[in-house]
Structure 1
Amino acid sequence: MKVLDLQCPHGHRFEGWFASADDFESQAKRQLVECPICGAKEVSRLPSAPRLNLSGANDAQSSSDAGASQAREWQARAMHALREVLEKTENVGDRFAEEARRIHYNEAPARNIRGVTTPEDAKALVEEGIDVMPLPIPAALKEPLQ
């Protein structure tokens, strides 16, 4: 099993596990590998080396590792928050604007909803005094995780 360091065009770094480097190349060419944060399928392999415990390792590497660790921790927190939003909202799909209005005008039961709408409809909702917030959901969260 090969653990590879990967990155999408948006700078999201993550690990991928593959049977071999050739397996990664094959899957990447067929666009089967995607960023777990944004769903981008243009994924590239980053240079990586085995981790070695060497006495006297320089502080610069340690600082770089700390920065990467903080980035991974932030991404993990963001993914956790998105999962929580998904668990606590009802997906009304492309009926979002209609359902948000029905809830706002007490024509439907109050509840937390999510869905899809056009930028124009979102602007109209805000102008009506209906609070909405765009929330891009990574493809990795749209289906159940294994």
Structure 2
Amino acid sequence: MIRYSLICENAHDFEGWFSESADFDRQKASGFLACPVCGSLDISKVLMAPSVSTARHKEKIGALAVNEAQKEVVAKLKEVITSIRANSEDVGERFPEEARKIHYGETEARGIVGQASPSEVKSLIDEGIEIAPLPMLPDDTN
């Protein structure tokens, strides 16, 4: 996975994770990449220094401050993700297969969630199947 620091036309900073460098360009061109704060589609990569893991760096990561606006955004994201999961069928590792069946009209259209490898995600996008990743938020992994 490749992590890019991104910025929108309204100067909102955020980061994005992509399976390969060309994914950023494809998602931007398809209108799939939007600012999580304002929804702007005018997104650019920000020059970033390489990440080198050191003991001092690990200490700093644990002490990052989150301002109120960021807490509010994370809370809203949690609400949206909870709503999506509550109104979708969890198909687990069958996600790519079920997404294709829905796309090609072989089964009923419905909301689904599940898992897919980066190569499966790329194949689905290449086939024109509209999918979106659900972000993993800090509390999701603790």
Instruction: Give the alignment's TM-score, normalised by structure 1.
Output: 0.48
Larger Rg computed on CA atoms: 1
Choose between structure 1 and 2: higher strand proportion. 2
Larger relative contact order (Cα-Cα within 8 Å, sequence gap ≥ 6): 1
Instruction: Give the alignment's TM-score, normalised by structure 2.
Output: 0.49
